[in-house]
A = this chain, B = another copy of it.
Amino acid sequence: MTAQLYCFGESGNSYKAALTMALSGYDWTPRYVDFFGGETRTPEYRALNVMGEAPLLVDGDLVLSQSGAIQYHVVKATGRLGGAPGEEEEVMRWILWDNHKLSSQAGMTRFLMNFLPEEKRPKEVIPFMQGRLKAAYATLDAHLTGRDWIVGRDVTIADTACCGYLYYPEPYGFSRADWPHIDRWLDRLSALPGWKHPYDMMPGSPADRAKA
């Protein structure tokens, strides 16, 4: 049976898992999570995932959450995107850095600036988080200087992790023009066969919700 990825278009964490599956040829289908309607806070969803988050992979008996854990599951299943022998620790270090410093903070900042009503936005939190994110973009841009990919000579799950929130159009303080090495790396990634924009790869987008 085809694996189901519980996901939604606005979720860059879901995109990390979906893009990894798409680029590696893993057999999957999206299952829409109504995050904005509160689905991840329901008892039914919490019974599947105590962390109450998307993405969530359901593949036969396996129920697995955390985008990075799903990425590693896909590497194990397909033998692709894990890096060359000897590169495993470097790949993991960038996955963890992304979870700690990049996607976590970018996802929250984008949410506060775009998906919360104006009057509910914590005004001081946004510039504070943007300052922390600027340090993260600077680290990634410096690392990508003179490199095609984050680790080694080919695309890995380190790349499909760090790009999680960087293709979205909603403003949250990230501009590709400010970071030329990140900009060219995002172009290389989006030129790969199987790449799609998050809103084309997963169901749900601000445009869909505006129509509803």
Binding site for B on A (CB under 8 A): 50-52, 62, 64-69, 72-73, 89, 92-93, 95-97, 99-101, 104, 122-125, 128, 139, 142-143
Contacts and interface: CB of A to CB of B under 8 A. Distances in A.
A104 to B, nearest CB: 5
Contacts of A128: 122, 125
Given A51-B97, A69-B93, 7 more contacts: A51-B101, A64-B93, A66-B96, A66-B97, A67-B96, A68-B92, A69-B89
Stoichiometry (number of copies): 2
Contact of A99 (B65, B99, B143): B99
Nearest to A64: B89
Given A50-B142, A139-B50, A142-B50, A96 B68 contact: yes
A87 to B, nearest CB: 12
A92 to B, nearest CB: 5
Contacts of A67: 96
Nearest to A145: B50
Sort A-B residue pairs by CB-CB distance and give the 3 closest, nearest first.
Answer: A124-B124, A69-B93, A66-B93
Given A65-B93, A93-B69, A122-B128, A51 B139 contact: yes
